[in-house]
């Protein structure tokens, strides 16, 4: 039986467990450093299992090793931003956790997904320390940004999201890159369906989406959308679906970047990001991509 280990039973971790149960993906072991937290949340989810007809259990535990003995591990640990903070503001606190788990998972043969902020730096540092194959360490940055873009385009055009394809690559922050020709509605580039000012406004909203959620709620950063995107990626891994996601993973020469994680389209299957693709970028976009890589590299080395 395939097993998913989730370290961190906060909003993102617990909701990922819930979505995995809804998707009937596999057994989930949910763990948290706070005594009893994961056990209580797992019990709460499983008490609705008779109505939802779950096929796999969600098991809560205080024992970290139970979660680490899994096929796919999600690290949903670390400090979250407060209103007014950017993603890099929590790096000094979170890098210690990333380093600790990277050392614990040296030699791990499965796939590790991180949602710890800032995600590109976390993925970069984790893979460097753990020594895992680059494609087996993933972050959800571009995939989450792409779903936000799909939603905002659908709202602007009053059409269903199922008809929309969207691509966001690069860094998971305001320097993300949105190649317009790859955002399409039933195959039609979105630039033919709305004026440039409307499209620009949508892109700006995507870049600020996490901040808007944080500033509006005043209590927590986004977690429903990140959790659903994470569950979707885990499902593709365990089912060996070979689906396409824009995931943050250490690059191996794409766009001239090596050993730094940024989001680009990847074919995701049982071995993680099994193939990486390089959409055509303008000179300006390619420059921004390389600048983002340099910024992440400097952050990790700081």
Q: CB within 8 A of 148, min separation 6: which ones?
A: 205, 206, 209, 225
Judge whether 161 and 146 are in contact, CB under 8 Å. no
Token output for 180: 């317009």
Of 125, 133, 148, 113, which Cα lies nearest the Cα of 235? 113
CA distance 265 to 251: 11
Give catalytic status of residue 172 as yes or no: yes
Q: Which of 15, 21, 29 is nearest to 73 (CA)?
A: 29
Segments of 200-287 assigned E as strands: 243-252, 258-269, 272-276
User: Which residue out of 59, 158, 172, 200 is catalytically annotated?
Assistant: 172
What is the rounded radius of gyration, in angstroms, for the C-alpha atoms of the chain? 18
- Per the listing, tokens 């499965």 go with 110
Q: Which residues are catalytic?
A: 172
């Amino acid at each position: 039986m395939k097993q998913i280990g989730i370290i961190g039973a906060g909003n993102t971790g617990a909701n990922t467990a819930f979505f995995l149960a809804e998707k009937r993906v596999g057994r989930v072991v949910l763990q948290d450093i706070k005594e009893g937290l994961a056990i209580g949340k797992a019990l709460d989810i499983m008490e609705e299992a008779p109505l939802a007809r779950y096929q796999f259990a969600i098991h809560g535990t205080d024992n970290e090793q139970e979660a680490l003995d899994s096929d796919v591990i999600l690290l949903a640990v670390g400090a979250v931003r407060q209103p007014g903070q950017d993603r890099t503001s929590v790096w000094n606190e979170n890098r210690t956790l990333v380093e600790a788990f990277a050392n614990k998972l040296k030699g791990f043969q499965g796939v590790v997904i991180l949602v710890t902020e800032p995600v590109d730096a976390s993925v970069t540092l984790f893979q460097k320390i753990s020594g895992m194959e680059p494609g087996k360490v993933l972050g959800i940055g571009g995939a989450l940004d792409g779903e936000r873009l799909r939603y905002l385009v659908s709202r602007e055009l009053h059409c269903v999201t199922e008809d929309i394809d969207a691509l966001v690559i690069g860094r998971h922050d305001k320097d993300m890159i949105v190649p317009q020709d790859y955002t399409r509605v039933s195959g039609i580039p979105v630039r033919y369906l709305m004026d440039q000012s409307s499209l620009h406004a949508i892109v700006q909203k995507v870049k600020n989406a996490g901040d808007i959620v944080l500033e509006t709620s005043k209590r927590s950063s986004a977690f429903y959308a990140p959790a659903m995107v994470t569950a979707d990626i885990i499902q593709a891994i365990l089912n060996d679906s070979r689906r396409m996601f824009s995931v943050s993973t250490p690059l191996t020469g794409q766009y001239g970047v090596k050993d730094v994680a940024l989001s680009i389209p990847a074919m995701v299957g049982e071995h993680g990001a099994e193939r990486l693709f390089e959409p055509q970028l303008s000179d300006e976009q390619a420059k921004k991509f390389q600048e983002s890589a340099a910024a992440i590299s400097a952050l990790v080395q700081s």
